[in-house]
Amino acid sequence: MDLLQEAAHIAISDVLKLTANEQLLIITNPLPDPEAISRALYHAALDCGASPVLLFQPVKTQFDFAEPAVIAAFEAKPQAFISISAEKLGKDRRGMTSPYKHNGEEYDHIFHLQLYGEKSCRSFWSPGTTLESFTRTVPIDYAELGRRCDAVRHILSAAQSVRVTAPGGTDITIGLRNREAKADDGDFSRPGRGGNLPAGETFISPENGTAEGTIVFDGSISLHKGDIIIREPIRCRVRGGYVADISGGEEAAALLETITLAERDAVDYEKTGRLPKGQGETYAKNARNIGELGIGLNPRAAITGGMLEDEKAFRTCHFAVGHNYDNDALSLIHLDGLVKEPTITAFMANGTSVVIEQNGELLV
């Protein structure tokens, strides 16, 4: 068995734990690496007796909508779903215009409804993955990864706030009250469970409006034109939970351009009926929101210029600008950016503190 097929079998059998006769939907793009990985996953699913369907669509960016046939495929209620995309799965036009409702919650994508709301499926998604990355970072010790992710998750969920500092100049504090951390630990074997492959991070949405300080992105960052390695650090001053100003070189200008596009497009989306009336201003404002703190925990991940892998790398953390994972700060964008060699200190309600990572070294 070659390395790709071995990684695909691990993804199907160990990560999703797909069983005979289960329906699996795979969405991909007709590009060499995504197509090769998707076909390997398709055949691995056949080998375990499942019923896979492989569907292609053009490449979609942060601002694009998924093809109607892709959205329609979810109506079949597959037990498992995989997205192997060059960039993104694509937004759900109907869901953004008239959000789906389930148990008092609203979802702007049918996939999010089924995964997080109805919990009728399980999933992993790998935006921007490559053959080299997939075959290197998927075959890992998932039991040890789960232990690391769980230890960090418990600390962040119990914390009132967290401070992140780093040699590059980052010094920011975010509130975490009433927030629950999530673990991308590679165990996507139960309905309602999902995350990235490669797996390997614990992440949390900051308490809205609480982020204060400075983030200096010095690893890599996601932009509307794709992920890039940062040559000249991007300095973001954060006030009241939002990016107040951005300074640096070409990379900083590109980040500002992406945020400005998201602000402008949010207003246009409302005008053209692609967002509910009154939501354009909210989506535009949240284009500057600090929507995530994540900590990389995959020992085989490295900073390569592909955010899917980069954000899982040891000795890094990342912040996202835009949409958060608690869905109470909605935006058209979610831009992950890496900070290298961080010190991450969690502050508890009883006045104690826990150092999760010190100068890039994981301590839990």
The series of mean pLDDT values per 10 residues for the chain, 364 residues long, is 93 97 98 98 98 98 95 98 97 95 95 97 97 97 96 98 98 98 96 96 98 98 95 98 98 98 96 93 98 98 96 98 95 97 98 98 96
Instruction: Give the per-residue pLDDT at 335.
Output: 98
Report the side by side order of strands in the sheet with 220-223.
182-184, 201-204, 290-296, 316-322, 334-340, 220-223, 226-229
> Residue 198: is the preceding peptide bond cis (ω within 30°)?
yes
Rounded Cα–Cα distance for residues 25 and 53 (Å): 5
Rounded Cα–Cα distance for residues 142 and 17 (Å): 13
Cα–Cα distance list, 58 to 68, 200, 284 (Å) = 12, 28, 26
DSSP string, 98-131: S-EEETTEEESSHHHIIIIIS---EEEE-TT--H
SS3 61: coil
pTM over 0.85: yes
- Amino acid identity, position 333: I
Instruction: Give the per-residue pLDDT at 1.
Output: 64
Torsion of CA 129, 130, 135, 141, to 10 degrees: -30
Summary count for the chain: helices (H), strands (E): 10, 22
Instruction: Give the per-residue pLDDT at 35.
Output: 98
